Amino acid sequence: MNGRSNRYRLHHWQLAERQRYLGELESLSERLHADVERLRTEIDQAGGAAALPTRSPIDPLFVRPLVERRDKLLHSIAELTEQIAEAQAAVAEAQQEMKLVEGSFAQRGGLNFEDRLTRRARRAL
């Protein structure tokens, strides 16, 4: 195995890892959005966030913790959105690097079919 082949595999692995990480972040974001919607429904059923000051016997035990949890989730979603944007930029950069590496291999004729296969694809063969 030569250095070019190793370089190609390294870039391919980095791209796959960045794509996996981005997918995990997006999945987490979807789950958090679903949790926020569930909390909004529970808050509405309990009288709504606007009813906090007027319903003092129920508020400390039920509504206020829901509102606080929802607010924390919204803050987490905002942070996660920034991380997703950074991960998308990293994936785009890794894809660009892969194109450059593949282009240089194609020009030199150093990239054969086996080099393009991932480990899973090799096992399937």
Mean residue pLDDT across the chain: 80
Report yes or no: 18 and 94 within 8 Å, Cβ to Cβ: yes
Burial class (CB in 10 A: 0-12, 13-18, 19+), 53: exposed
Task: Give the residue with greater pLDDT, 33 vs 98.
Answer: 33
If one compares 73 and 113, the residue with the highest pLDDT of the two is: 73
For residue range 18-53, what is the model confidence (pLDDT) as tens digits?
999 999 999 999 999 999 999 999 888 877 666 555
Q: What is the CATH number of domain 3-124?
A: 1.10.287
Give the Cα separation of 16 and 58 in Å (integer): 50
Average pLDDT over residues 59-75: 84
More confident residue, 117 or 33: 33
Read off the pLDDT of residues 16-27 as tens digits, 9 standing for 90 and up. 999 999 999 999
Q: Where are the domains of the chain?
A: 3-124
